[in-house]
Chains A and B, each alone.
Chain A
Amino acid sequence: MEDTLRKTPLHGEHVGLGGKMVPFAGYEMPVQYPTGITAEHQAVREAAGLFDVSHMGEFVARGPDALGLIQRVVVNDAAALEVGQAQYSAMCRTDGGIIDDLLVYRFADRWMLVVNASNRDRDWEWITRHVKELDVQLEDRSDETVLIALQGPRSRRILALITDLDVEAIAYYRFAEGRVAGKDAVIAGTGYTGEDGFELYLKADDAVAVWRALLAAGRASGLVPAGLGARDSLRLEMGYMLFGNDLDEDHTPLEAGLGWITKLEKGEFNGRTALSAQKVHGVKRRLVGIKLKERGFPRPGYEVLEDGQPVGVVTSGTVSPSLGIGIALAWVPARLAGPRTELAISLRGKPVRAEVVRPPFYTTGSIRR
């Protein structure tokens, strides 16, 4: 397996910075740098962090029927997007099971879908299957595209040093095309941390120059490179889901609490019939946030207990670096999904008291909604 791992164009930078490289979604990616996950996490909460997320997949769609194709395969209403706006969405099977969660960007002349690395090939196969007679040119740009995330309350002042764009004008889930460190970039007000920040889409050849320019520009502001470990604890403090952990084909967006992106009235789309029926009849299980009331480290696969009996399973968990308590996402029966419901999590056979909470767990981030 290891000899087939892919490398992003920033691989050499990570190694040079002392990054600990691990296999992730078919890529060799930095899980942390020498200062460690907790320090990187805190830097993003208090200053800024720089992430290489180039493993993500980018598909570009053009042509008269591009919107029609996207509307067919995603659950959110892409027609509601303005040019320069992005949207969180999901793709479902006919039975409503989630194939992937993704971002949809609307440009003046094209659309971009940003998908999870682990699902890239499967998503591509699924989307192209729906092109049929539609007049769409679909292109997988993943290997030519680098994605760098600059996240944290000081992101704006750092980016402003090396771009001619007005960074204050880039609002949450809006984007603009401009130059960063002299290189062409799509600069989006998106992220996965709960902090103010940007995701920069760049040409692979420009990646190293922009990465270095950002680190240099941010040095005085406390910017640090941050790895997958901090990315995971940051997103979990916000209750953001991760496909493969919290989301999968066996669960629907309604069960996952993603009803807010599931627009059943937008017209026909994959999974609509099943999801409409589920909405009428109600869901039997829910993905919920759980906070431990005692010391403990919840991990994926640990059982959720009600009165000592297993009723559910943890899908993501950590000890929140910001809050100092165990937090988790877990599947539970819908009757147990109400906030403050008392449960327990079995930590290696030892039940630890916990309660259901409505994410985000961390509520004081700098994100500008």
Chain B
Amino acid sequence: MMSEIPEGLFYTHEHEYLKSTGEDGVYQVGVTDYAQGELGDVVYVELPDSGSTFDRMEAFGTIEAVKAVSDLYCPAEGKVLDVNQALADDPELVNSDPYGAGWMIKLKVLDSAHLKDLMDAAGYATLVGGK
């Protein structure tokens, strides 16, 4: 099955995405459609408090699916402005709408140079294409 990989987003090798909120330097972070498909039904999402800061590739939370538990990695150094409280009651939003209602944190990216190291949709498609 082909997974959805929207244009205009940044992607990591660990299957997180960054999607611009429209506000300068602020991105919505979640996991990709491919990742949710691989994980299967998500049972819990553990998220940080608003105001926390994370280094690039530091774990900011965990995602518990039926098959496995995975760390969530911060794609770029930044500060958490908001977390998706809806996931506490409806973790399956990660499965049903990974790029929309299943978002995890809103991140103020402190070093935009980090974004250059991330993949675009075409690059990410190549990464997961063979799988």
**Which A residues contact B (CB, under 8 angstroms)?**
18, 31-32, 34, 36-38, 229, 233, 295-297, 299, 318-319, 348
Quick check: A32 and B69 within 8 Å, CB to CB? no
Stretch of B3-11, B40-48, B117-125 lying at the A interface: B40-48
Quick check: A297 and B1 within 8 Å, CB to CB? no
Known: A18-B1, A297-B64. A38 touches B41 (CB 8 A): yes
Residue contacts A-B, CB under 8 angstroms, 14 given: A18-B1, A31-B67, A32-B40, A34-B1, A36-B41, A229-B40, A229-B66, A229-B67, A233-B66, A296-B44, A299-B69, A319-B43, A319-B44, A348-B69
Distance (whole angstroms) from the CB of A38 to the closest CB of chain B: 5
Q: Is B95 among interface residues, defined by CB-CB distance under 8 A? A: yes
Distance (whole angstroms) from the CB of A139 to the closest CB of chain B: 37
Quick check: A297 and B41 within 8 Å, CB to CB? no
B95 surroundings in chain A (CB, below 8 A): 36
How far does the alpha carbon of A32 sit from the alpha carbon of B38 in the complex, in Å?
Answer: 11
B1 surroundings in chain A (CB, below 8 A): 18, 34
Quick check: B67 and A297 within 8 Å, CB to CB? no
Residue of B nearest to A324 (CB): B43
B40 surroundings in chain A (CB, below 8 A): 31-32, 36-37, 229
B66 surroundings in chain A (CB, below 8 A): 37-38, 229, 233, 318-319
Quick check: A295 and B44 within 8 Å, CB to CB? yes
How far does the alpha carbon of A281 sit from the alpha carbon of B41 in the complex, in Å?
Answer: 45
Quick check: A37 and B44 within 8 Å, CB to CB? no
How far does the alpha carbon of A295 sit from the alpha carbon of B64 in the complex, in Å?
Answer: 11
How far does the alpha carbon of A295 sit from the alpha carbon of B92 in the complex, in Å?
Answer: 16
Distance (whole angstroms) from the CB of B11 to the closest CB of chain A: 22
**Which B residues contact A (CB, under 8 angstroms)?**
1, 40-41, 43-44, 62, 64, 66-67, 69, 92, 95
B64 surroundings in chain A (CB, below 8 A): 297, 319
Beyond A38-B92, A348-B69, 8 extra complex contacts between A and B, CB < 8 Å? A31-B40, A34-B1, A37-B40, A38-B41, A296-B44, A299-B69, A318-B66, A319-B43
The 7 lowest CB-CB distance pairs between A and B, nearest first, are A297-B64, A38-B41, A319-B43, A36-B41, A37-B66, A37-B41, A37-B40
How far does the alpha carbon of A319 sit from the alpha carbon of B43 in the complex, in Å?
Answer: 8
Distance (whole angstroms) from the CB of B97 to the closest CB of chain A: 14
A296 surroundings in chain B (CB, below 8 A): 44
Distance (whole angstroms) from the CB of B45 to the closest CB of chain A: 11
Max count, chain A CB within 10 A of own CB: residue among B41, B62, B64 = B41
A318 surroundings in chain B (CB, below 8 A): 66
How far does the alpha carbon of A80 sit from the alpha carbon of B67 in the complex, in Å?
Answer: 40
How far does the alpha carbon of A348 sit from the alpha carbon of B71 in the complex, in Å?
Answer: 11
Distance (whole angstroms) from the CB of B8 to the closest CB of chain A: 27
How far does the alpha carbon of A348 sit from the alpha carbon of B44 in the complex, in Å?
Answer: 14
Distance (whole angstroms) from the CB of A301 to the closest CB of chain B: 12
A32 surroundings in chain B (CB, below 8 A): 40
Distance (whole angstroms) from the CB of B63 to the closest CB of chain A: 10
B69 surroundings in chain A (CB, below 8 A): 297, 299, 348
Distance (whole angstroms) from the CB of B128 to the closest CB of chain A: 15
